[in-house]
A and B are shown apart, each in its own frame.
Chain A
């Protein structure tokens, strides 16, 4: 594709644009924050569904867990805002990863469709349990403390925070995909029986993949809870009908199983979603269901997947010696 130098320049430009955006368009800071949150959603879904072949309909569970964990720390710790927030985020990540490890030990032994439906149950169960648990506010939800700062500072803060989280998840995932880990989860996707027959520690890889997802999702939850100011168990924390569904849609739209696919899908979805909401209101959700069907049935490769099929040269999918460059797995 492009040379190393061209790539670096492109990355630098994109980075600069992303960093400047909230500063240039302060009125859109919250929208920008949500944009990066969507990117994170799509990426963390894709490692499971796209790269590993384990469609999870319940990733929102970790987002909700993170949101509540952080908010509870902020409510009960008595520390100042930023310290409490930092501690809360740390705890969110720890609990999220622990939840993934524990749940994963039981649920990741399930194959394909059983896993998908089990996670569906998990996501909803999270919302239902949270709605009844008084310690975290039950149906009334939980409030997060007010951001200490002038008007506009909070939006900027979260715009940059989500940017950092999204970029961090992107970097971590691309590094994983480039190495042994990526091969392993792709093998699990392509033929799990074969992978097992060759002695691969499939459960271990599956669990780690889910833990990585959970890590970023719970951090996103903690941040989102603070940005929105209020955590409702079913509409914000364990928002299966909105965020949970979007996670799936965005990754598939952009091209599941690719690195940039989920990013592109998230960006396109977020931008168009605003338009749809203005014109369609409640019908937007109907359209989303329809969109999932259309994409899954007619356009399963997604945008990037389709591009890859049409122009494989762009992706180094060369067929033989002549076009190939000696490559080592594990190098960036």
Chain B
């Protein structure tokens, strides 16, 4: 299978526990792909393996054709593969604008640009993206003082600022007020359609998955259980059993 991201036979163990067991999947360019599974099935571990957060035991991870399983986190990020965190990580002591500015892509940066001021376009872009997520009015507020939902949006905006080709989102709607989830789904879709970012999303909320993704994978006990269109996977008896059955 080909795709912007290709994971092949990926295995990762922690001590005696096999967190990811021979997982193979692919995320095509331009698509929105989902990753579901009960708690403890290895979803975040898979993300961590992909972005370089820990070494993998076995398998191959290819981004745009190039093998990345031995690369480190910042190197992978500079290739255009960015992730958001389940616990939402932003720079708490800085205001939103600064959070955005520091999130510009760094692949082209050299010793000279380190010391030069940001060009006007960058500040404008920051403003646009903050507007896009609805944080423009709060842009000078210290990020640590935003509400949880607002911080999630900021983290999303920062990820967009980094202009990635592939964005891994770890439970983007967790903890968000249900009435605001539709807005978030809309923004995700727009980011994909207008900006052209490929999305790979871990989600627990089935409604979000049904609404958002074109293709979804299901993990259980570290293994890939099923993959396909959301409707199909949702009705797959193995998936149902994984969620409802004993663990």
* A274 contacts B by Cβ under 8 Å: no
Residues of A within 8 A of B106 (CB): 198-201
Interface residues on A, range: 35 or more
Q: Which residues of B have CB within 8 Å of A320?
A: 137-138, 140-141
B140 contact set on A, CB distance < 8 A:
318-321, 324, 327
In the complex the two chains form, is A329's CB within 8 Å of B137's CB?
no
- 98-120 of chain B: CB within 8 A of chain A: 98, 101-103, 105-107, 109, 111, 113-118, 120
CB–CB B74/A176 < 8 A: no
The answer to whether A198 and B90 touch across the interface, beta carbons within 8 angstroms, is no
B23 contacts across to A, CB distance below 8 A = none
Interface assignment of B184: CB less than 8 Å from any CB of chain A = no
| B105 proximity list for chain A (CB < 8 A) | 199
List, in ascending order, chain A residues with CB within 8 A of B113's CB. Answer: 180
B145 sits at the interface (CB 8 A)? yes
Hey, what's the 0/1 contact readout for A202-215 against B, CB within 8 Å counting as 1?
Answer: 10110010000000
Question: Which A residues lie within 8 Å of B90 (CB)?
Answer: 191, 194
> B115 near A181 (CB under 8 angstroms)?
yes
B117 touches A330 (CB 8 A): yes
- Taking the complex as formed, is B93 at the interface, i.e. its CB lies under 8 A from any CB of chain A? yes
The verdict on B55 contacting chain A, using a C-beta distance below 8 Å, is no
> Do residues B118 and A199 form an inter-chain contact, with CB atoms below 8 A?
no
Q: Whole-angstrom distance from the CB of A325 to the nearest CB of chain B?
A: 9
| B73 proximal to A (CB < 8 A) | yes
Listed A/B pairs (9) with beta-carbon separation below 8 Å: A180-B101, A190-B91, A196-B74, A198-B82, A198-B103, A208-B114, A321-B140, A327-B97, A330-B118
- Residues on B lying within 8 angstroms of A by beta carbon are 51, 72-74, 77-78, 82-83, 85, 89-94, 97-98, 101-103, 105-107, 109, 111, 113-118, 120, 123, 137-142, 145, 158, 162
A interface vs B, CB < 8 Å? Answer: 176, 179-181, 183-184, 186-187, 189-191, 193-202, 204-205, 208, 317-321, 324, 327-331
